[in-house]
Amino acid sequence: MPDANGAWESHRLLVAMLVLPILTFVVTYSISLSNGTMEYPYYFLSVSIESKPASCIGTFGLSATCLVAPFLAFIRYSFVRKHLEENMEKGAMFDKVKLWNRRAFYFAIFTGIGGHGVASFQSSVDDCGGEHWIVGVHLWFALMFFGGGAIYCIISYWLDLKLPNLGSPRERISRKIFCYGTIAQVFAVFCVLPGIYTWLGGEPAVIAIMSFLEVTTLGTFMSLGQGTYHPRVLYLATGFDG
């Protein structure tokens, strides 16, 4: 609940951002594995939300998470902008950092839209009337979701390099891990493993590894929660005129 000044503690958003996707997919994976709609080696996130009731839970949880993400990204954007204005002289580099900080926020919104699309357009064609074009739409939204999150991670780390005193050491290390981990995961999933899969003639174990790496790339999206400095003392103020 807001305090007497109409402000909300931002750490509640951070907790929601971190807990919701984990809880959502723990439930959807449990349901899909127990009712047989998910089988080896197809352990992808999308497969876990293809069939009811897992699809209902997945859509709700993922959409709620995507609603929270841009707010946290805006907090990060605001802190970087304030830090930039207080610690860097205006000039070419100042303008460049300011531009990419704003672009990072745009990519956070882009990622959130992708997540809503992934949750809304299931990747299955079944007896209930699913269409093949829906699978294509799902894949495009998945690219927005993971691609946008990956780019956000990379830009966030680049901002750390340009602003050496931005955030705590722990926050900076976490963003560095997210950045390099994201690059490695995306390269493996989209470049290395598909080639190995083709070379081995469709080895199921390769698909299982790809699905595991896809699950870990969810961290690119959850990295939007990184950088909400001092979350227990930062407030989101709301006001109404009249």
The beta strand positions in the chain, using DSSP E, are: 7-9, 235-237
Distances (CA, A) of 106 to 42, 69, 100: 32, 12, 10
With a cut of 90, say whether residue 111 has pLDDT above it: no
Q: Which helix (H) or strand (E) holds 97?
A: helix 92-120
pLDDT in tens, 70-110: 888 888 888 889 888 888 888 888 899 999 999 999 998 99
With a cut of 60, say whether residue 3 has pLDDT above it: no
Q: Is 110 helix (H, G, I), strand (E, B) or coil?
A: helix
The answer to whether the Cα torsion of 79, 80, 84, 90 is positive or negative is: negative
Distance of CA 222 to the CA centre of its chain: 5
201 vs 51, more confident: 51
Cα–Cα distance for residue pair 135/130, rounded to 1 Å: 9
**Which of 11-20, 105-114, 207-216 comes out lowest in average pLDDT?**
11-20
With a cut of 60, say whether residue 145 has pLDDT above it: yes
Mean pLDDT, all residues of the chain: 77
With a cut of 70, say whether residue 42 has pLDDT above it: yes
pLDDT value for 98 = 92
With a cut of 80, say whether residue 129 has pLDDT above it: no
pLDDT value for 99 = 94
* For range 41-55, the mean pLDDT: 83
With a cut of 50, say whether residue 229 has pLDDT above it: no
Distances (CA, A) of 144 to 11, 114, 151, 167, 186: 26, 5, 10, 28, 13
pLDDT value for 186 = 75
pLDDT value for 101 = 93
